[in-house]
Amino acid sequence: MNFTVTALDVTDSTQSEVKRRATAGAPEGTVVTARHQRAGRGRRGHDWWDAPGQSLLVSVLLRPGGSPRVAPQLSLVGGLAVADALADAASVAARIRWPNDLLVDGRKVCGILAEAASDGMGRLDHVILGIGINLNQTGFPPTLRERATSLGLVTGRAYAAEPVLAAVLAHLGRRYAEWRAGGFAALRTVWLERSTVPGQLVRLPHGGEGPAVDVGDDGVLLARANDGRLLRIVSREATEEVTAHAAGH
Ligand code: BTN
């Protein structure tokens, strides 16, 4: 895939900027970065805080076509690509917490937001993959302090955004091509090796938590409920779909 990168100083959110460009017909591979976002967004309606110039803030436009049902898989593909990139650019072995947080020593070093839009005729129009990597922060606001870290804190080195961006885009291009050729099934084994599944505790849609057991060829997480049932969890977003899975899996 060819990437066309626009580097902004300040914007509301690179997600919003790429969304505007997608709506105006921008092609797959459109990439926007920023040094600072005034209204950065996280998953489930959360804000995404950044200290100006300390993070890699990037959004990438993908147009895979096909069914909207595959959109959640792209956030897993994104998580894997960033794990590859952190190993490559910083020799940091991050773990993927389903669906796509990247953790080092249990603390979050990167968050990913996948926002999908369909074309009104039942097909996927685009997915915008938003990636926020903590590069050089030496401290975080009190609400994040216990849960966040940065590449700098982990390795004691300073990171320029450009080489990390280059690694992210190179690995994303490669993993996306593998996904297009073979679906999530082609990435499932390596994704599992890099992830906190099995064992990760996940919030269950009808309350409580349960351990993740496995991820399917379709990227759906299997988690064990308190009553022993296995649940299929498609995504943690509001439109969560959960169905009882065949007993005995
Ligand atoms: C999360 O963990 O909740 C997802 C965070 C995603 C943050 C990135 S930063 C670049 C892009 N622009 C945004 O407004 N959000 C994503």
Mean pLDDT of 87-110: 96
Q: What is the pTM of this model?
A: 0.93
User: In the predicted model, is pLDDT for residue 249 greater than 80?
Assistant: no
Question: Ligand 1 pocket, 14 CB below 6 A?
Answer: yes
Structure tokens given for 94: 């991050």
Residues 103, 83: Cα–Cα separation, whole Å: 9
Question: Ligand 1 pocket, 108 CB below 6 A?
Answer: no
Nearest CA to ligand 1 atom 7: 132
The pLDDT value recorded for residue 206 is 78
Angle (CA) 83-86-89 rounded to 5° is: 145
What's the Cα-to-Cα distance from 112 to each of 5, 168, 221, 229, 239, rounded to whole Å? Answer: 18, 12, 17, 29, 17
Contacts of residue 116, Cβ cutoff 8 Å, sequence gap at least 6: 68, 71, 74, 124, 126, 127, 128
Contacts of residue 210, Cβ cutoff 8 Å, sequence gap at least 6: 201, 202, 204, 223, 224, 225, 226, 231
What is the 3 state secondary structure string of 38-97? CCCECHHHCECCCCCCCEEEEEEEECCCCCHHHHHHHHHHHHHHHHHHHHHHHCCCCEEE
- pLDDT tens digits, residue range 124-155? 999 999 999 999 999 999 999 999 999 999 99
Please give the mean pLDDT across all residues of the chain: 92
SS3 content of the chain, % helix, strand, coil (to 5): 30, 30, 35
Ligand 1 centroid distance, CA of 42 (Å): 5
Ligand 1 centroid distance, CA of 240 (Å): 20
The pLDDT value recorded for residue 236 is 59
- Fold held by 4-194: BirA Bifunctional Protein; domain 2 (3.30.930)
What three-state secondary structure class fits 111? Answer: strand
The pLDDT value recorded for residue 95 is 98
User: In the predicted model, is pLDDT for residue 240 greater than 80?
Assistant: no
Structure tokens given for 102: 């990247």
User: In the predicted model, is pLDDT for residue 246 greater than 50?
Assistant: no
- pLDDT category at 168 given cuts 50, 70, 90 is very high
User: In the predicted model, is pLDDT for residue 241 greater than 50?
Assistant: no
The pLDDT value recorded for residue 207 is 81
Nearest CA to ligand 1 atom 11: 130
Question: Ligand 1 pocket, 48 CB below 6 A?
Answer: yes
**Do residues 34 and 57 touch, judged by C-beta distance below 8 A?**
yes
- pLDDT tens digits, residue range 208-238? 899 999 999 999 999 998 888 888 888 754 3
Mean pLDDT of 155-161: 98
The pLDDT value recorded for residue 192 is 97
Could you identify the residue written with the tokens 């099995």?
A: 198
- pLDDT category at 44 given cuts 50, 70, 90 is confident
Partners of 55 in the beta sheet? 134
Structure tokens given for 208: 């409580």
Q: How many helices (H) and strands (E) does the chain have?
A: 6, 12
Percent of the chain with pLDDT over 90: 85
What are the extents of the domains in the chain?
4-194, 201-247
Question: Ligand 1 pocket, 111 CB below 6 A?
Answer: yes
Residues 40, 8: Cα–Cα separation, whole Å: 14
Q: CB count, 10 Å around CB of 14? A: 25
